[in-house]
Structure 1
Amino acid sequence: MSAMREAAMNSKAWPFEEARRLVKRYEKAAPDKGYVLFETGYGPSGLPHIGTFGEVLRTTMVRRAFEVISDIPTKLICFSDDLDGMRKVPGNVPNQEMLAGYLQMPLTSVPDPFGTNESFGDHNNEMLRRFLDTFGFDYEFYSARDFYRSGQFDEILLRCAERYDDLMKIMLNSLRDERRETYSIFLPLHPETGRVLYVPMKKVDAKSGTVTFDDETGKEWT
Structure 2
Amino acid sequence: MDNEKTENKASFFSNIVAIGKDLAALLRDFALLIIFLALLLFPETFNDIMIKAGFEEGSIIGMKWKKGIAKSDIALKEAQATIGIMQKQLDSVSKVLNEAKKTTNNPDLKKKIENVQLKNFEIEKQTELIQKSVKKTISSNAVLVENAQKAVNTTNSWGVLLGTDATLKLAQNECRIYSSKYGIQNAVIYYRQGFYLSIVLAGDRDTAGELLSKAKRRRSDSYIVPMTTWCQNSVQRDGYIECLGK
Query: Shorter-normalised TM-score: what interval?
Result: under 0.3
Q: Whose radius of gyration is greater, 1 or 2?
A: 2
Q: TM-score, normalised by structure 1?
A: 0.25
Whichever structure has more helix as a proportion of its residues is 2
TM-score for both structures, normalised by structure 2? 0.23
